[in-house]
A and B are shown apart, each in its own frame.
Chain A
């Protein structure tokens, strides 16, 4: 397990660099793949909920460090997604190569629902606290409050948001299959072989 941890932390950092620099140019189905989301989900499915939550937290923080969103929102959403995937796996005991895809879809949907909900709640407070934003100086006026309300309402399951969630869910469920296979192979290579005494 410790060897796997030493492998995963640099892996997350490498994936973060790819996420910020390369992946925005490689959009599949019109959306950039979130590899930093898929890795904790797969990790949780392999090593259990607790391990998955730890990596979801770290990956979420790394994502939020390079996003304009509130710090911690992605971590919370990732952790909810990992929990959903791990619990769903317990309900689907049989092994099939499409199971990871289904779990990926569940995790992706839960992530987006939680993330959008968090943004809707947190963004008005975020705008209020950022005094450099031009409207911040006017936040006590009814007009500015209305504007902030409009900003928050844009984080809802509208047409374009629903479209993004759908495309992202399909993409991540498809990507789960090769990533699950890679992690399975790595796990087989790195896990210490059991010896009967």
Chain B
């Protein structure tokens, strides 16, 4: 009996569904169920995400580590490139300087140390007597005169800077052609040009060059620029403060001038006949 009722009901539903008469019934039951299903699905996915999450986080962490190492490598590479660029510019400046006066023989040297005493201003180069560097040789950078080789060993040389207290260089001004001696100021003092003829008209901003007198330095190497002039009528000479052309704090590479043609003073070596006969 029950079986007959159930089979009859099933057949009835099939017929009604086939004819489309059950759409309202479907809507009545489906809407609330689909709402519950949607809610359940969202929570289920969240639960699944939570359960399967650790694998993704680990992947993400691994990716972060990998990317971070790539960033580090790129940063290192960037720093190296910047350093190479700086070195390139430095060498380009030096090369340009060397091209200005090709008659000099030069040796490129790097600065490897500084004076151990704060009372002296000297630098230590990585080239020494074995490389052909000798005491007294002038040292220049791309911007101008740096100093003079003071002491050498086999593989290093000490250079006394032009700003040191014991440095004295025969100099000439670029425009007025007045001559004098440029002295290093030493500790806390400015570089000065002394013994300038009182009658010379010198101006602030004039370029100070080596005069070449004495034969220790080549002519016309840039030393610096006049920034102040002290002129008193009562004095025999006037004096000027000189700003060095070279920034000694940022020096990295220099040229040691191993050979240059100094001013020919051989004319003074022999005494003229009329003077020698008079003696």
Contact = CB atoms under 8 A, between A and B. Distances in A.
Given A20-B124, A132-B148, A151 B115 contact: no
A159 B188 contact: yes
A154 B118 contact: no
Given A66-B158, A137-B214, A155 B169 contact: no
A49 B115 CA distance: 28
Q: B-side binding surface: helix, strand, loop or mixed?
A: loop
Given A134-B170, A143-B195, A36 B116 contact: yes
B149 to A, nearest CB: 8
Contact of A20 (B113, B135, B181): B113
B95 interface: no
A132 B116 contact: no
Contact of B214 (A66, A130, A134, A143): A134
B166 interface: yes
Nearest to B195: A143
Interface in B172-204: 181, 183, 186-189, 194-195
A158 B194 CA distance: 21
Contacts of B88: none
Nearest to B165: A154
A75 interface: no
A66 B113 contact: yes
Interface in B127-153: 135-136, 148, 150-151
- Of B116, B151, B188, most A-chain CB atoms within 10 Å: B116
A147 B183 contact: yes
Contact of B120 (A67, A159, A161): A67
B116 A66 contact: yes
Contact of A69 (B117, B124, B183, B194): B117
Nearest to B171: A134
B117 to A, nearest CB: 4
A168 B136 CA distance: 32
B160 interface: yes
A19 B187 contact: no
Contacts of B150: 68, 130
A13 interface: no
A74 to B, nearest CB: 7
A63 B119 CA distance: 13
A73 B270 CA distance: 42
Contacts of A185: none
A116 to B, nearest CB: 8
A154 B158 CA distance: 22
A116 B119 CA distance: 9
B166 A132 contact: no
B195 A66 contact: no
Contact of A133 (B122, B166, B187, B194): B166
B160 A66 contact: no
B188 A147 contact: no
Contact of B116 (A63, A133, A160): A63
B62 interface: no
A102 B23 CA distance: 103
A177 interface: no
A49 to B, nearest CB: 24
A16 B150 CA distance: 20
Interface stretch (A3-11, A40-48, A119-127, A188-196): A119-127
B67 interface: no
Contacts of B124: 20, 66
B217 interface: yes
A113 interface: no
25 contacts: A19-B116, A20-B113, A20-B114, A21-B112, A63-B116, A66-B113, A67-B115, A68-B122, A69-B119, A123-B166, A127-B166, A132-B135, A132-B148, A133-B148, A133-B167, A133-B168, A134-B216, A135-B181, A147-B181, A154-B165, A154-B189, A160-B188, A161-B188, A163-B188, A164-B187
Given A66-B113, A68-B150, 20 more contacts: A19-B116, A20-B114, A20-B124, A24-B114, A68-B117, A68-B164, A69-B117, A123-B165, A123-B166, A126-B166, A132-B135, A133-B148, A133-B168, A134-B168, A147-B168, A147-B181, A147-B194, A151-B165, A163-B188, A164-B188
Interface of A: 16, 19-21, 24, 31-32, 34, 36, 63-64, 66-69, 74, 115-116, 119, 123, 126-127, 130, 132-135, 137, 143, 147, 150-151, 154-155, 158-161, 163-164, 168
